[in-house]
């Protein structure tokens, strides 16, 4: 068995997230179906993370142990031939048996994109969250500063039964406005379930004046999900890069 590393892009619009689920279309499910057909075995692929339903990825990293005579280039060609048009395998390579896409990941970059223009974002509508007006960028940056560093992000996790540690390190949060688009870039060592979307929803509450920037520090300290803002819609979120 050889361990293969994959770089994958996908439009998550019509999928129920990365993780395979019985009777539902998922990214992992589609990939495993093609790999199983290719190898005539029951293939399993491991992703660097589990993106939620409706969330996209430009460079998801995954690995799979496969028994095949095909070269990495032939595997790439085969997968792209049989995968649907909204999933692309960009690179395939051979890695050591010990490489694990999830456990070896050292960091991830997510971008959440909002649109606040007067017209409709016709050609970007599946990849942005449309806002009614332009939020206060300076206020959101001030609020985001409280979240940078190592913290217990329990208040920004949608899983109330989380048994593992909810402590994570967020290295940077950058909020950039370019014309009618607002980009929230999050880089950290890992993110909890819905964490990026809840943080984005909270920052937008600050941007629209419904919450003060300093309240974000209180939310962190009280570790109560009910105090944070709403979970931002999934379509604006994209996994951009995984670090190793």
Q: Which residues are catalytic?
A: 52
Number of CB atoms found within 10 A of residue 79's CB = 21
Q: Is 138 helix (H, G, I), strand (E, B) or coil?
A: helix
Distance between CA 88 and CA 219 in Å, rounded?
39
CB of 75 closer than 8 Å to CB of 4:
yes
55, HSE (Cβ side, Cα atoms, 13 Å): 27
Distance between CA 174 and CA 197 in Å, rounded?
15
CA distance readout (Å), 112 to 21, 25, 196, 200: 25, 23, 8, 8
DSSP H helical ranges for 52-136: 72-82
107 Cα distance to chain centroid: 12
103, HSE (Cβ side, Cα atoms, 13 Å): 3
Structure tokens, 202: 């909270």
């Amino acid at each position: 068995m050889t361990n293969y590393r994959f770089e994958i892009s996908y439009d998550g619009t019509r999928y129920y997230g990365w993780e395979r689920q019985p009777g539902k279309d998922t990214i992992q499910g589609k990939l495993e179906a093609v790999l199983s057909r290719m190898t005539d075995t029951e293939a399993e692929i491991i992703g660097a993370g589990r993106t939620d339903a409706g969330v996209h990825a430009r460079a998801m990293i995954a690995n799979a142990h496969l028994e095949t005579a095909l070269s990495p280039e032939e595997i790439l060609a085969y997968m792209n031939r049989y995968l649907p048009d909204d999933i692309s395998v960009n690179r395939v390579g051979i890695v050591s048996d010990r490489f694990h896409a999830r456990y070896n990941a050292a960091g991830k970059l997510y971008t959440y994109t909002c649109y606040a223009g007067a017209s409709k974002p016709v050609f970007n509508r599946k990849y942005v969250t449309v806002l009614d007006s332009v939020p206060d960028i300076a206020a959101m940056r001030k609020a985001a500063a409280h979240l940078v560093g190592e913290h217990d992000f329990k208040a920004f996790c949608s899983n109330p039964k989380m048994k593992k540690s909810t402590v994570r390190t967020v290295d940077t949060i950058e909020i950039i406005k370019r014309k009618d688009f607002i980009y929230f870039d999050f880089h950290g060592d890992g993110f909890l379930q819905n964490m990026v979307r809840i943080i984005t929803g909270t920052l937008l509450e600050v941007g629209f004046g419904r919450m003060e920037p300093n309240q974000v520090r209180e939310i962190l300290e009280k570790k109560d999900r009910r105090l944070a803002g709403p979970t931002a819609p999934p379509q604006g979120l994209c996994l951009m890069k995984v670090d190793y």
